[in-house]
Amino acid sequence: MSTIRPDELAARLGDDGPFLLDIRPRKSYDDRRIEGSTNVPVYGDLRSGDEAALRDRLDEIPDDREVVTVCKQGVVAKRATKILDDEGYDATTLKGGMGGWHGYQHDTLGYKLRSLLWRLL
């Protein structure tokens, strides 16, 4: 399964960049999000094993470009990425989720350490 680091994603954002699918609950999305992302709030459903919640909303996700899935820390987004892969999408998970993105934007020590580990592994 494909993943992308926050710094890699930042370099690819723009008109021709990937479609950003944020699966977190609406309130979390409203509080903090990546500019240009789209919220399809199926986090709770996927976390509890209900894949139908995302499958029922595939018409909201373009199938002609890469999709980067985003959640809180990246764990549940991996489930979304797998579902999208199974449905024929070119899907990738944002490593570290919004926590990783926030750390990247604010250049936190935690992000620097995680980023170093990601590069080494």
What does the buried/exposed string (b/e) look like for 44-55 if buried means 16 or more CB atoms within 10 Å of the residue's CB? ebbeeeeeebbe
CA distance linking residue 116 with residue 121, whole number of Å: 9
Which residues have a catalytic role annotated?
A: 71
For the chain, what are the domain ranges? 3-113
- pLDDT of res. 119: 79
The model's pLDDT over 53-108, given as tens digits with 9 standing for 90+, comes to 999 999 999 999 999 999 999 999 999 999 999 999 999 999 999 999 999 988 88
| pTM confidence score | 0.91
Query: Could you tell me which residues come within 8 angstroms of residue 84 by beta carbon, excluding any fewer than 6 positions away?
Result: 54, 61, 67, 69, 91
The model's pLDDT over 24-48, given as tens digits with 9 standing for 90+, comes to 999 999 999 999 999 999 999 999 9
Protein fold of 3-113: Oxidized Rhodanese; domain 1 (3.40.250)
